[in-house]
A = this chain, B = another copy of it.
Amino acid sequence: MQHNPVLEAIRQRRSIRRFTPEPVSLAEIEAILDAGRWAPSGLNNQPWRFLVVRPGEPRQDALARHTKYAHLVRGAQALFCVFLDREVVYNRAKDLQSIGACLQNMLLAVHALGLGGVWLGEIINQEPEVTRALGFDERSLELMAVLAVGRPDQKGSSERKPLAELLLEPLSLADE
């Protein structure tokens, strides 16, 4: 299992918060969106909707004004705004989980393309104002997160709890 590229990507991906000035290409943006699109969802309702904001667009400012991480928004080469389509919601808890699966697919795609990115969740503390500031109707759409993406200008680092702390009971050896 040591050289499984999928397991390695999952294990090695880190949040990247500093980017070089190099642009992210349209092909890269499409590959990231395509990864999000293939996430699983309850009843296959695919509740995610996407908006991509690139440097210099007025919406970059609108995003920056609604988060304390304005410097990340201004430093990114592509901002992926992921919304929940309120009209296809069938169970809020499950739909939020599906959105999380979609975001994780996108982050793994970012990593797999040699790019870096970070999940900005703090910005949704300013819902629904941020959705309105982007020009959308908050009765139809709810911003779920923004991914800030670019070419990495740092190495990320992060830790996780050991598995033993996350298991409610030790794994049984069963028949082994």
Report the interface size for chain A: residues with CB under 8 A from the other chain. Answer: 77
Task: Look across to chain B and name the residue whose beta carbon is closest to the beta carbon of A9.
Answer: B6
- A169 within 8 A of partner (CB): yes
Q: Which residues of B contact A97 (CB under 8 A)?
A: 96-97, 99-100, 103, 121, 144-145
Query: How many copies of the polypeptide does the oligomer hold?
Result: 2
- A149 within 8 A of partner (CB): no
Q: Which residues of B contact A101 (CB under 8 A)?
A: 100-101, 103-104, 107
Q: Please, how many angstroms separate the alpha-carbon atoms of A4 and B100 in the complex?
A: 22
Q: A101-B104, A108-B108, A112-B6 are in contact. Are A11 and B38 (CB under 8 A)?
A: yes
> Is A38 in contact with B13, judged by CB distance below 8 angstroms?
yes
Q: Return the CB mask of A152-165 against B: 1 if under 8 Å, else 0.
A: 00000011110100
Closest 8 CB pairs of A and B: A100-B100, A97-B100, A6-B112, A101-B104, A96-B96, A5-B5, A100-B101, A104-B104
7 contacts between A and B (CB under 8 A): A5-B6, A6-B9, A26-B171, A37-B166, A39-B104, A50-B166, A54-B174
